[in-house]
Amino acid sequence: MLTQDQKDALQEVANIGMGRAGASLAQVLGHFVILSIPRIVFLQPEEVASELTRIVGESEVSAVRQAFQSKMRGEAIVIFGAQRCNDLADLMGYEEDLDHATEIELLLDTTNILVGACLSGITEQLNAEIGFSAPSLLADRMPVEELLHMGNVSWQNALLVEVNFRLEQRSFACHLVMLMAEDQIAVMAEALDHFLESF
Amino acid sequence: MTCSPQDSPGLSLQLLDFVVDRLEVGIFAVDASMNIVLWNRFMASHSGRLGTEVIGRNLFECFPELPVKWLEKKINSVFVLKNYAFTSWEQRPYLFRFNHNRPITGGIEAMQQSCTFLPVKDEADNVGHVCVTLFDYTDTALYQAKLTQAIAELDRDKEVQDKLIAELEVAQEALQQLASFDALTGLANRRTFDKNLSTEWRRASRESQPLSLLMIDVDYFKRFNDAYGHQMGDACLQFVATAISAADLRETDTAARYGGEEFSVILPGTTLDGARVVGERIRECVQGLEVPHKQSEVSSIVSISVGAATMIPTSRRGPEQLIAVADDALYQAKRAGRNRVVAVNGDADADVVPAATTA
């Protein structure tokens, strides 16, 4: 899929990207954000469910997906635990009590800024413009193993980048997963080569 | 944008202005201080505020009803993250409370809106403005509401249907009961008797097992009716039916009201001796009831005569022959003085129960 140099470069780009993302998220939320070091894995469709279960470590989840388009296309999924992101409501400017629709909107809003910050953090370094579609709800309190049915997909290999979020002094935590299919990995490889040449 | 500025830059900009202004989509933009810098015709006509009134002024001063904290946060995130942001009518029905264009046919309170917040970047990649596009989703919302309603109605119809089916099943069962049982005595009726007898006949024929039949007649019943009236007559038949039911019949036996004051019991897999025992038990049960019968010539209480018959069915004969033999046994019991059991082997000669068993 990627050469060792390309993998190292991607890890480097992702590390720097998350650093930038953390800084801008802190600015938006007015609160310190802790981002894990991104973990990069190559997966086959049948491995996705078990990988997600392993990442989440919780049985019931809510999740939002969002498509991104730049040189590379893919989908990002943000997975929330039982607490969802209600602990984030005030930081996101929500003042009223959360009814079901507002809770969902908060999930979508939170996903949008997390995905936006993290992906921009990566693509900026690769000199790629990035655009996003509106996020949509993938799971509203559902068993994690039912999250992604990979029975009928058009890809054999995918690149998965996983980042964990936490807020300092708050209970909020969630997982961000970016998935790109193999045809996009080739585009990524090319972009990484350009990145390596620029040093 | 497919304009070609090389040909006529003035025209293409003019065209662009025209499109932005006249598009049937709300378009507005704010700077970092939330001052309005763009306000198209859609926004003006629906808000009732002209561009000349609002441009250059703070968004939240012009529209204090907007959710300030949340919206400011949202727009700021676009400035900081240089990123898109979205709202959907499904979670937040509207940003601006606008009238929609279905005031008559709508039935929905305000225009349903989905918005996209776009970062407007300059050449140095800084976001100087945020542009907001506002799409009218009222029609979609109405269709979705109709769809949701239709699904709910389907569910409700299904519930009604299920309930009707359950009621129908209960009614069918009751009807089955009515069709199979005798209304007065609660025993099987003649129809069920005929059906069960031919079923048991075929089964016994297949398995070469004996099949026994009791024919039971209430002694001097016509006189009982004359003496006590028809209502007491009915009660008497009910007593006898109770006695038959009390005689420890098996699940597979069929006790039936054969007609008038005649009863019968089908006893599958029972020999002549077994049938005689059952007949005797029923006779004793009836005696035990001690229903007075002043017009009886054999006793002061109601009694019965029982004819018992047994056959091992073969395909050459039919159940009607078993009935004929049992009827004959009953006739013999009456001839012999009533209040007794006479058992006849349908495959051999008559066998009269010793007089010792009579009352």
pLDDT at position B6: 56
Chain centroid, CA A96 distance in Å = 28
Both tokens of A75, joined, read 């989908």
Nearest to B81 among A24, A92, A101 (CB): A24
Instruction: Tell me the pLDDT tens digit for each residue of A74-132.
Output: 899 999 987 777 788 888 888 878 888 889 999 999 999 999 999 988 888 888 888 88
Tens of pLDDT along B241-271?
999 988 888 989 999 999 889 999 999 999 9
Q: What is the mean pLDDT of residues B340-356?
A: 68
Radius of gyration of chain B (CA): 47
Q: Using CB atoms, pick whichever of A28, A93, A113 lies closest to residue B69.
A: A93
- Does the pLDDT of residue B349 top 70, yes or no? no
Residue among B46, B142, B40 at smallest CA distance from B95: B46
> Which of B81, B86, B87 lies closest to A28 in CB terms?
B81
The one-character DSSP state at A38 is P
Which pLDDT score, from 0 to 100, does residue B329 have?
A: 96
**What confidence score (pLDDT) does residue B8 get?**
65
With cut-offs at 50, 70 and 90, classify the pLDDT of residue B354.
very low
What is the per-residue pLDDT across B153-193, written as a single tens digit (0 to 9) for each?
Answer: 999 999 899 999 999 999 988 888 888 899 899 899 999 99
- Cα gap B266→B244, rounded to integer Å: 12
H or E stretch covering A108: helix A100-125
Is it the case that residue B35 has pLDDT exceeding 90? yes
What is the pLDDT, as a whole number, of residue B353?
Answer: 46
Q: Does B352 have pLDDT greater than 80?
A: no
Task: Give dist(CA A35, CA A122) in Å, integer.
Answer: 14
Average pLDDT score over chain B: 89
- Dihedral sign (CA A10, A15, A16, A19): positive
Confidence check: pLDDT of B26 > 50: yes
In order, the DSSP letters of B59-70 are HHHH-TTS-HHH
pLDDT digits (tens, 9 = 90+) for B259-310: 889 999 999 999 999 999 999 999 999 999 899 999 898 889 999 999 999 9
- Average pLDDT of the segment spanning B211-217: 96
Say yes or no to pLDDT of B339 above 50. Answer: yes
**Helix B319-335 / helix B190-207 crossing angle, nearest 10 deg:** 110
pLDDT above 50 (res B359): no
Q: How far is A181 from chain B (nearest CA, A)?
A: 23
Q: Minimal CA–CA distance to B281: which of B296, B270, B293, B292?
A: B270
Task: Give the pLDDT of residue B1.
Answer: 45
Query: In this structure, what token pair is assigned to residue A97?
Result: 């009590």
Give contacts of A25 with chain B, Cβ < 8 Å.
81
Q: In terms of Cα–Cα distance, which of A5, A20, A120 is closest to A70?
A: A120
At B119-134, the pLDDT tens digits run 999 888 899 999 999 9
Instruction: Give the residue numbers of B marked as catalytic.
Output: 261
Chain A residues whose C-beta sits inside 8 Å of any chain B C-beta: 24-25, 27-28, 92-95, 101-102, 104-105, 108-109, 112-113, 116-117, 120, 131-132, 134-135
**Taking CB atoms and an 8 Å cutoff, what residues of chain A touch B92?**
101-102, 105
A73-80 and A173-181 as β-strands: parallel, antiparallel, unpaired? Answer: antiparallel
Non-local (6+) Cβ contacts of B30 within 8 A are B36, B37, B59, B75, B129, B130, B132
Q: Residue B263 pairs with which residues in a beta bridge? A: B216, B257
Q: Are strands B341-345 and B304-311 parallel, antiparallel or unpaired?
A: parallel
Q: How far apart are CA A132 and CA A183, in angstroms?
A: 19
Q: Name the nearest CA neighbour of B87 among A194, A104, A141, A188.
A: A104
pLDDT at B314: 86
The DSSP letter of residue B348 is S
- Cβ contacts of residue B39 below 8 Å, gap of 6+? B28, B49, B50, B51, B54, B55
DSSP A37: P
How many CB atoms within 10 Å of residue B358?
Answer: 17
List, as one string, the DSSP characters of A46-95: HHHHHHHHHHH--SEEEEEEEEEESSSEEEEEEEE-TTTTGGGTTTTT--
B73 vs A: CB within 8 A: yes
- Judged by a CB distance cut-off of 8 A, whether residue B126 touches chain A is no
Instruction: Answer whether B82 touches A (CB < 8 Å).
Output: yes
Maximal C-alpha separation, chain B: 132
Question: What is the value of pTM for the model shown?
Answer: 0.64
Mean local confidence (pLDDT), B197-210: 93
For the beta carbon of residue A198, count every other beta carbon within 10 angstroms: 9
Question: What is d(CA B301, CA B218) in angstroms, rounded to the nearest whole number?
Answer: 11
Cβ separation of B83 and A116 shorter than 8 Å?
yes
- For A134, the 3-state DSSP assignment is coil
Torsion-angle region of B304 (φ positive above 0: left; ψ -120 to 50: alpha; else: beta): beta
Helix H or strand E segment including B311: strand B304-311
B36-39 vs A73-80, strand pairing mode: unpaired
Chain B residues close to A104, C-beta within 8 Å: 90-91
Given phi > 0 = left and psi -120 to 50 = alpha, else beta, which region is B90? alpha
What are the pLDDT tens digits along chain A (199 aa)? 788 989 899 999 999 999 889 888 898 888 888 999 999 998 888 888 888 888 887 778 899 999 998 878 889 999 998 777 778 888 888 887 888 888 999 999 999 999 999 998 888 888 888 888 999 998 888 888 777 765 667 778 888 899 998 888 888 889 999 988 888 888 888 888 988 888 7
* pLDDT exceeds cutoff 90 at B74: yes
Q: What's residue B9's pLDDT?
A: 67
DSSP letter assigned to residue B188: B
Q: Which residue has the tokens 């002043």?
A: B294
Question: Quick one: tokens of B294?
Answer: 């002043």
**pLDDT band at B113, cuts 50/70/90?**
very high
